[in-house]
Structure 1
Amino acid sequence: MYVLAVNGSPRDGGNTEVLLREVLSSLAECDWQTEIVKVGGTAIRGCTACYKCFENKDNRCIVSNDGFNEIYAKLLQADAMILGSPTYFAAVSADLKALLERAGFVAIANGNAFSGKIGSAVVAVRRGGATHAFDSINHMFQISRMIVPGSTYWNMGIGREKEEVKDDAEGMKNMRHLGKVINWLGRSIKNSPGDYPAG
């Protein structure tokens, strides 16, 4: 099984990346194929509401000069996606928001292409605002007919300086548990008869 983590932070080796890698490490121990890609700091643009994805229905965005389509293709392949962001003014990073807008829209335009996939949000925060950022990611999952697993707490870790989140023992423990839950859910879905119900 394959899981893709998307890092919405522009900072290499920052707290968002640390949290994502902890979840991936837990999944790798369960024999998942893991990959992390970075969207933060890539200047990915937001949705232009041109509706070409609804016309073309080719699982692509017509804007093709910013790396979105490559990441979207990986999201389509993934059994589970973990989207991570730092907390900026109680919201997700602009680059991750752009990905959420476009990926969600292109997926809906192509027969709800994310239906039945597992989606998890992971958020790094200095102090406050993480639950709003967490919700923003989950909103795309829910409207896309995805399955959102829980863990021991909301999937957030506290820290400002690089790798400071490693000192948040509860947050790091939650990430490892999240990996275990994604593994359990992914294997349950794989062994379950029938397709995700159409709406």
Structure 2
Amino acid sequence: MKVLIISGTPKREGLSCSCEEAALAGVISAGAEGEVIKLCDYNLTRCAMCGDGWGTCRDKHTCIYGDDGFNEIQSKLAEADLLILNTPVYWGDMTEIMKAFFDRFRRCEAFKGSESALADKNVLLIASPGGSGNGLISCLEQMERVCRHLSAKIYDFIGVNRWNREYKLAAIKAAAASMVKSIS
């Protein structure tokens, strides 16, 4: 079983990275294979809304600018059995790189219906606001909206901040393991 962890953090350490590590540990402890894709490791472009607003994404379900790593990630999402989305909260939302990726991904996948790369797949959503801890709920709502547009099933929502970090990291590990076991 393959679990893909999509990370929107630009950092190599910190709260959001700790969430990735906890999720990966949970996946592995349940006997599944896990892979973390850090979107910031790619030079992803924003959606260009080609032609009349729909380029090849609507009919061919691919992005003509996909050689920036997008097509590779889209394929990995299609091959994964389960998905974990992890992002720090920026201005009450996902990071800009995660929004940019999912804007393109949604255009390519939305008209595939039950054949969408996320259709009927369980997804664990993790958001970690820093500083004030504000914006958590609106960020999780944005992540949920993307998943609902693509017919994914939300397994759980987990919000982590500096005050609840210790027990929420344990919850992330447990949730990731539980999600794997739920379809094993």
Which of residues 51, 58, 61 in structure 2 aligns to 1:54? 58
Q: Distance in 2 between matches of 1:101 and 1:186?
A: 28
Q: Distance in 1 between matches of 2:179 and 2:48?
A: 33
Cα distance, 1:20–1:48 mapped onto 2, change above 3 Å: same
Amino-acid identity (%): 19
Instruction: Give structure 1 stretches of 5+ with no counterpart.
Output: 160-164, 188-199
Q: Distance in 1 between matches of 2:83 and 2:10?
A: 19
Cα distance, 1:80–1:14 mapped onto 2, change above 3 Å: same
Instruction: Give structure 2 stretches of 5+ with no counterpart.
Output: none
Q: Distance in 2 between matches of 1:136 and 1:172?
A: 22
Q: Distance in 2 between matches of 1:48 and 1:29?
A: 41
Q: Distance in 2 between matches of 1:135 and 1:19?
A: 19
Structure 1 residues 85-114: Cα deviation after superposition (integer angstroms, max 9, x where no partner):
111111111000011111122122334412
Structure 1 residues 165-186: Cα deviation after superposition (integer angstroms, max 9, x where no partner):
8x72221122022113312332
Task: Report if the CA contact (8 A) 1:87-1:125 is conserved.
Answer: yes
Q: Distance in 2 between matches of 1:103 and 1:64?
A: 10
Q: Which residue is equivalent to 2:135?
A: 129
Task: Report if the CA contact (8 A) 1:118-1:186 is conserved.
Answer: no
- Quick one: which amino acid aligns to residue 10 of structure 1? P
TM-score by length of 1: 0.80
Please give the root-mean-square deviation of Cα atoms over the aligned residues, in Å: 1.9
Which of residues 180, 185, 189 in structure 1 aligns to 2:182? 185
Task: Report if the CA contact (8 A) 2:124-2:176 is conserved.
Answer: no
The structure with more helix, counted as a fraction of residues:
2
TM-score by length of 2: 0.86
The reply to whether residue 156 of structure 1 matches residue 162 of structure 2 is no
Q: Distance in 2 between matches of 1:168 and 1:15?
A: 8
